[in-house]
Amino acid sequence: MASRYERTVLVAAGWYAAAAVPFFINSRLAHEDRSCDDTGNLCFTAQDRTALLFAGSLLFLGASLLAAALVALPLSRRPISVFAAGTVSALAGSMTAGAGLLLWIAAA
């Protein structure tokens, strides 16, 4: 049987998987592409943009999951339900990754 910590991290991972599904579906849809024949060196089609958005969302959700795993450790020791602890750790992980992203953008 999985420990409370592992179940808490699995709940957080479930929230992140639910957040990644729309990005995955959007990356697989057919989009209207424009021709890049008359442009310069750099041209992003609609399909390129959706693939880039999907890759960026996976990077953000991966960093969020790492932060959530760190937050889940003390939360899993509390006498609250595993679902509540996993949800709070997923929220805290997203906020931590978002703050890190904003700091990275501000430093650039």
- pLDDT top residue among 30 and 104: 104
Tell me which residue of 12, 22, 25, 18 sits closest to 70, measured CA to CA.
12
Q: What is the pLDDT of residue 42?
A: 77
pTM for this prediction: 0.78
Q: What is the pLDDT of residue 52?
A: 84
d(CA 98, CA 57): 12
Q: What is the pLDDT of residue 69?
A: 93
Tally Cβ neighbours within 10 Å of residue 67. 22
The encoded tokens of residue 3 equal: 């420990």
3-class DSSP state of 51: helix
d(CA 20, CA 22): 6
